[in-house]
Amino acid sequence: MPKRILIVGLNWIGDAIMSMPALQACRAEHPDAHIAMLVKPYLKPFWEMHAVPDQILTLDKMGTTISEVKQYGFDTAYILPNSFRSALIPAMAGIHHRIGLRGDHRFLMLTKVIPLAGGHQSNEYYPIMAPGSADLVKELPALQIPDAAFQTLEAKFPNLGNYAVLMPGAARGASKMWPLDHFEKLARMLLDQTDLQLVFAGGGGDAPACKDLTAMLGDRVTSVAGKTSLQEWAALLKNGRLAVANDSGGMHLAGAVDVPVVGIYGITDPDKTGPLARRFKVVQNSSVKSRDIARSSELAVEALTSITPDQVFKAAKSLLA
């Protein structure tokens, strides 16, 4: 009987993308296995763009999720998050082999505890999902955007063409956000010195700032923040000539659809969480680099503020060339 694998997925788009190379290696190691993902509901359309999962389950109430997982008869669970809950679900569902990092007092719920790997965050997932591939050359993430996403994007925004995407938001707040007035100055440089249209993109929380920036910058600028589905956001990036983003899910998504991307880093560490992409530039002034930072960090804000629009423009121009 083919192996039945449940992968408890990560909760953020950027982290999910960084787990993709190991997931792709897992499929190569288990070509006949049934592989299911268990993810938060908002990530279901995201994982529908990836070729590996045969099934996508979504997290509901604890009891409901455990019952659903139990009925599918998985024999192995690869648990990618470090949380207690992520290990509790497969344990309560009776999955025999439960493999993951030690994290959050949950080692008794794991049948195999994996040491934390060094280097880029993407390295951490190979020993969990594809230990036989850990020392091989790593593949990049691979997304397959459905035609329908391009069609609905065009229907919503029929006048987009020859554009760069600017993404001023970040889930971690000010500690990862380049100042908005710097984004405005960068936008003016791009408008003055290139023939590009500009599109401001992001989630609903980014919409007010993107709307304000658009209002300041004239008729070659559009905001789609909060107006696209996740798959349409991927299609928007795929059709663009360039993306500029903070260290965020949007930056990782741009890399995953193979658009050139400039990543703006304060004190987070691009050696740990840099974009998995063929064409990217990281702009960072700080010699202090940390994987985990507080949502409100004066040091991070100072480091981000020190990055000038001219620095980012030069990086963007080199990728456009």
Quickly list H helices, 138-296: 147-156, 180-193, 207-217, 230-239, 249-256, 270-273
| Three-state secondary structure call for residue 131 | helix
Q: What is the rounded CA–CA span in Å between residue 99 and residue 252?
A: 26
Which pair of structure tokens corresponds to residue 162? 């020859």
83-95 tens-digit pLDDT: 999 999 999 999 9
Q: Is the pLDDT of residue 137 over 80?
A: no
283-313 tens-digit pLDDT: 999 998 887 787 888 999 999 999 999 999 9
What's the average model confidence in pLDDT over 248-272? 96
The answer to whether 242 and 251 are in contact (CB under 8 A) is no
Question: What pLDDT is attached to residue 289?
Answer: 87
Which pair of structure tokens corresponds to residue 190? 């791009």
Question: What pLDDT is attached to residue 288?
Answer: 87
Q: Is the pLDDT of residue 19 over 90?
A: yes
Q: Is the pLDDT of residue 159 over 80?
A: yes
Q: Is the pLDDT of residue 108 over 90?
A: no
Question: What DSSP state is assigned to residue 5?
Answer: E
Question: What pLDDT is attached to residue 176?
Answer: 92
φ, ψ dihedrals at 253, nearest 5°: -65, -40
What's the average model confidence in pLDDT over 268-274? 94
Domains of the chain, with CATH numbers? 4-133 (3.40.50.2000), 147-320 (3.40.50.2000)
Residue 315 pLDDT grade (very low, low, confident, very high; cuts 50, 70, 90): very high
The answer to whether 122 and 274 are in contact (CB under 8 A) is no
Q: What is the rounded CA–CA span in Å between residue 147 and residue 71?
A: 33
Q: How far is CA 49 from the centre of its chain?
A: 13
Question: What pLDDT is attached to residue 202?
Answer: 94
192: left (phi over 0), alpha (psi -120 to 50) or beta: alpha
What's the average model confidence in pLDDT over 30-37? 98
Residue 174 pLDDT grade (very low, low, confident, very high; cuts 50, 70, 90): confident
Question: What pLDDT is attached to residue 135?
Answer: 85
Q: What is the rounded CA–CA span in Å between residue 18 and residue 119?
A: 12
Q: What is the rounded CA–CA span in Å between residue 52 and residue 24?
A: 7
Question: What pLDDT is attached to residue 17?
Answer: 98
Residue 122's nearest CA partner among 23, 230, 267 is: 23
Which pair of structure tokens corresponds to residue 176? 């990862």
Question: What pLDDT is attached to residue 290?
Answer: 84
